[in-house]
Structure 1
Amino acid sequence: MNTAPARLLATLPLGTRVVVRYRIDDAVHGATDALGEIVARQTDTCTVRTRSAGDVVIALADVTAAKTVPPPPAPRRG
């Protein structure tokens, strides 16, 4: 585990928008990303609410990278 990203996720306030790269059990891909807001946190997990997948529970031990990101752009006017 890379402890710096896990430490970051453990200290950010709920509601912070982040992108998190974490390991998955998939022989082809091995890792995936979650982009969204931190909505819950336990001692060993973090939950990120994404647009496409809903709430994603991520084990902090599986996190390989994480950073805060700016809010999504405003919707385009038609």
Structure 2
Amino acid sequence: MNLVGPQVRKIRELQKLTQEALVTRCHILKWNISRSTLAKIESQVRRVTDEEVARLAQVLEVGISELYQR
């Protein structure tokens, strides 16, 4: 379980990004993540490291604290 998954999904959808588009952004920033892994993060099935939270914030262009808002 993780706390940021639902907020990652919300922000991604607000930015009108598909999971594939977000994964492509991650790859551009040299983060090799699959769409399946992103789906597991958003669904709170997979744990997320602090480094991954920072990377998600970077790729979504938001502050880290925004990923913890409910």
Q: Name the TM-score, length of structure 1 as normaliser.
A: 0.26
Structure (1 or 2) with the larger CA radius of gyration: 1
Q: Name the TM-score, length of structure 2 as normaliser.
A: 0.28
User: Which has the higher relative contact order, 1 or 2, with Cα contacts under 8 A spaced 6 or more apart?
Assistant: 2
Structure (1/2) with the larger helix percentage? 2
